[in-house]
Amino acid sequence: MNIPSIPSKLPQVGTTIFTVMSSLATELGAVNLGQGFPDFPMDARLIGLVDKAMRDGFNQYAHMHGLQSLREVLSAKIEYLYNTSVDPATQITITPGGTYAIYTALTTILRPGDEVIVFEPAYDSYIPNIEINGAVAIRIPLSFPDYRIDWEEVRRRVTSRTRMIMLNSPHNPTGSVLREDDIVALRALVKDSGIFIQSDEVYEHLIFDGVPHQSILRYPDLLERSFVSFSFGKIYHCTGWKLGYSVSSPALMAEFRKVHQFNCFSCHTPSQVALAEFLTDRSSYLDLPAFLQGKRDYFQDLMRATRFTPLPSFGSYFQLYRYDRISDESDKDFAIRITKEYGVAMIPVSAFYTAGKDDKVVRFCFAKKEETLQRAVERLLKI
């Protein structure tokens, strides 16, 4: 039989370390602090609102742009938090998750040969999304160990082909966040240029220690050239919902929607109805930082008795830890061995670098029940 074959559009992509570690955790019954998902229940009020929406008959297609009432409440939230006016009709589109929103933004903008500046360690979808659109990822490492952007290096790497800069704050995997001086540097860099911005802000409300979130939404001049991506699943602890949204300028969003309408077209209606009501209560997002900071602080307190050394986490689900007092193994070998021998799964940070840069650091997810974190640290104490 002559079976047709095609050259792979992503020849370097195989099974990710996230799949490997989660499968290993399941196989061995290890405590999984690797993959970024909560093991505690989501808000019962939101579950009840979804149930009510389904019982009330909201089970057919929502508008391609997303439910109007949800976009209106998001617009009000943006005005309240960032003092920026965003038109719900022309600037907000509901998407099946933040990763989808990022892919759609890249597909909207990129042409073969374009260059996109990506800061590593980077969320694993960025570079494949760039390359599948025929563009080239220009990788710039964040400074270690604080994981800040070296803007002088960025300026040196900008060329006539630079089409986009990708940002992520709060940052996965490091928990670092953009500061006001980063915004100053970014504004100076892109002013009077043709450079677009993709800002991944899926952990928008999971930011700690009173640090203000430097959302691109705060800066209308930057928003004009940006797509800003968000995730309901991450902030409301229901990652399986795969529901998020993108915010942009009217002109850019019109092009985004051309791609969106022929891919997803419409997102889960009952969840949108529920979120539209849930978000009218500002505590639904204002209380989130303290809740997740409590998880981070609890995990940090437990980890003080171990031989791991923490790096700061200012947001997200994650904290990085050095293990140099334990081993000089590669981070991948270390993570696999600890999972097998001690029953705690983690992610080696080298997996977030294309070239596998290894600073002997691993990532733990602390968005777990207290008993889960206790069980994990009890095992890590034995190392």
Q: Name the β-bridge partners of 300.
A: none
Looking at the chain, the domain(s) classified CATH 3.40.640.10 span: 57-281
Q: Name the β-bridge partners of 137.
A: 116
Dihedral through CA 112, CA 115, CA 116, CA 121, nearest 10? 110
304-328 tens-digit pLDDT: 999 999 999 999 999 999 999 999 9
- Three-class SS state of 317: coil
Looking at the chain, the domain(s) classified CATH 3.90.1150.10 span: 17-42+286-380
CA distances from 105 to 196, 209, 379 (A): 10, 31, 42
pLDDT of residue 1: 67
Q: Token digits for 41?
A: 């229940």
- 0.85 cut: is pTM over it? yes
268-280 tens-digit pLDDT: 999 999 999 999 9
Judged against a pLDDT cut of 70, whether residue 108 lies above it is answered with yes
The answer to whether 135 and 115 are in contact (CB under 8 A) is yes
User: What b/e readout covers 105-136, taking b as 16+ CB neighbours within 10 angstroms?
Assistant: bbbbbbeeebbbbbbbbbbbbbbebbbebebb
How far apart are alpha carbons 185 and 228 in whole angstroms?
18
132-191 tens-digit pLDDT: 999 999 999 999 999 999 999 999 999 999 999 999 999 999 999 999 999 999 999 999
How far apart are alpha carbons 118 and 198 in whole angstroms?
10
The class level of CATH for 17-42+286-380 reads alpha beta
298-307 tens-digit pLDDT: 999 999 999 9
Region 227-242 average pLDDT: 97
Sheet with 309-310: strands ordered across: 309-310, 318-322, 361-365, 347-348
pLDDT of residue 20: 84
Residue 325 CB: number of other CB atoms within 10 A? 10
pLDDT band at 18 (very low <50, low <70, confident <90, very high): confident
Contacts of 254 (CB under 8 A, 6+ apart): 90
334-362 tens-digit pLDDT: 999 999 999 999 999 999 999 999 999 99
> Which phi-psi region, left, alpha or beta, contains residue 140 (left: φ > 0; alpha: ψ -120 to 50)?
beta
Dihedral through CA 128, CA 272, CA 253, CA 229, nearest 10? -40
CA distances from 216 to 129, 193, 199, 227 (A): 21, 17, 7, 9
Most distant CA atoms of the chain, gap in Å: 64
Domain 57-281, CATH number (from 3.40.640.10, 1.25.40.20, 3.90.1170.50, 3.30.750.24): 3.40.640.10
pLDDT of residue 358: 97
Judged against a pLDDT cut of 70, whether residue 51 lies above it is answered with yes
pLDDT of residue 237: 95
Q: Name the β-bridge partners of 166.
A: 198
By CB atoms closer than 10 A (0-12, 13-18, 19+), residue 57 is exposed
Q: Name the β-bridge partners of 93.
A: 246
